Amino acid sequence: MTAADDELLRALTDADPTRLDQPPAKGSERYLSILEVAMRKETAHETVESSPRKGGARSHLRLIPRPALVAAAVLLIALLAATIVVLRPGNEANAFATVQAAAAKTGKVERLRATLSIEYADGSSSITQGEMNGQDARIDTRSLSTDGSAFLESIVVIGDQMWEAEDNGDPITITPGERLAPFANSCEAIMGAALETKAVSTEGSESIRDVSAKHYGIVLDSASRAALAKLSPGELAWFELEYPEDVNRLDVWVADGLVHRLVVESTLGKATVDFYDFDADISITPPTAG
C-alpha cells in the first residue's frame, strides 16, 4: 500500500459514519460530505498514481471509469456502516431479536420444570418447585416468614380441577379467571410486554444448571409497564408481576434458543425463575387420597 493509499484509508476512517448508531441517510448533508471527502482523496490518489511507476506499471485506477469510483466509494461507506451496526459488541438490535426469538420458542414448550425463588423486600422468602404440562401443573411451595416460621403449600391443577394438600384428595372447581395461564405461554407474554422498551443489553455469559447461557438485561420503561398491565393476572402471577408499576428490570438467560432463567426486580423484591427439563416426560395426575 502506498502513502496515498494510506491517506485515502485515513480519510475514509475519519469520515466513517459507523461511529453513529445508524449510517447517514442517502442524500443527507453528512452523506454528501463523506462522499465528497472520499472522492477528493481518490482524485488526488489517481493523479499521483497516473505517472509511470518503476518498471512501467501504471495505476489500476486509470482503468476504472470515474462513475465506478463514485459507486465504489458509496458502497464502501454503506458496507462499513452496516458491518459495524450488525457486529458491534453488545448491539441492542441483535440482543432484542435473540430475546424475542427465545421468548417465542419457549412459549411453544408444553412440558418443563421450573424453580421459582423469591426474596421479598421485608425479608421473607419462598421457593417453589413446579412441573408443567400445558395448563396442568404440580406446584410445591415453601415460604419462610421474617420470624423464621415456615409454611408449606402443595397444589395440583388438572383442567378446571385443583387439589390442595389439606383437602385429603377432594378437588375444588376453579373458574377460568382463577386458573393460572400455561407457564411457558406466560413467559412469552411477559417478555413480549417487557420488550416494548426495545432496549436490550448484552451482559455476558453464565452457567445455568450446567448449561452455558447468554445473559441479557431489559430495563423497563413506561411502554413496558403499560404492556404488562394489560396481561391477565393468570399470566403475571407466575413471575410475581401482579404490580407492573413496581417492576424495574428483567434479566434473561438464553441457551439453545430457549429461556433458561428469568429474574424480575421490583421495589417489592426479587424473583428468580429457572427453566429446565424442556419437553421431559411429565404427566400431572391427581394426588392420592389420604
Strand 111-120 to 125-133 pairing:
antiparallel
Q: CA 214, CA 94: separation in Å to the nearest integer?
A: 12
C-alpha count within 13 angstroms, C-beta hemisphere, residue 124 = 12
Which cell is 220 given? 423497563
pLDDT (0 to 100) of residue 170: 74
How does pLDDT run along the chain (290 residues), one tens digit per residue? 555 555 555 555 555 544 444 555 655 655 555 555 555 544 444 444 444 444 443 333 333 344 433 333 333 333 333 333 333 344 555 899 999 999 999 999 999 999 999 998 899 999 999 999 988 999 999 999 999 899 999 989 998 888 887 655 678 887 766 777 788 888 889 989 999 988 899 999 999 999 999 999 999 999 999 999 998 888 887 777 778 888 889 999 999 999 999 998 888 889 999 999 999 999 999 887 65
Domains of the chain: 3-88 (no CATH), 93-134+180-276 (2.50.20.20)
Please give the distance of CA 65 from its chain centroid, rounded to a whole number.
47
Query: How do residues 148-178 score in pLDDT, each as one tens digit?
Result: 899 999 989 998 888 887 655 678 887 766 7
Cα–Cα distance for residue pair 127/115, rounded to 1 Å:
7
Choose among 13, 144, 171, 26: nearest CA to 84. Answer: 13
Say which residue the cell 505517472 belongs to: 51
What mean pLDDT, rounded, does the chain reach? 75
* Dihedral angle sign, alpha carbons of residues 19, 249, 190, 243: negative
E strand spans, 10-134: 111-120, 125-133
Q: Please tell me whether the overall predicted TM-score, pTM, comes out greater than 0.75 for this model.
A: no
Cell numbers found for residue 236: 403475571
Q: Which amino acid is at 30?
A: R
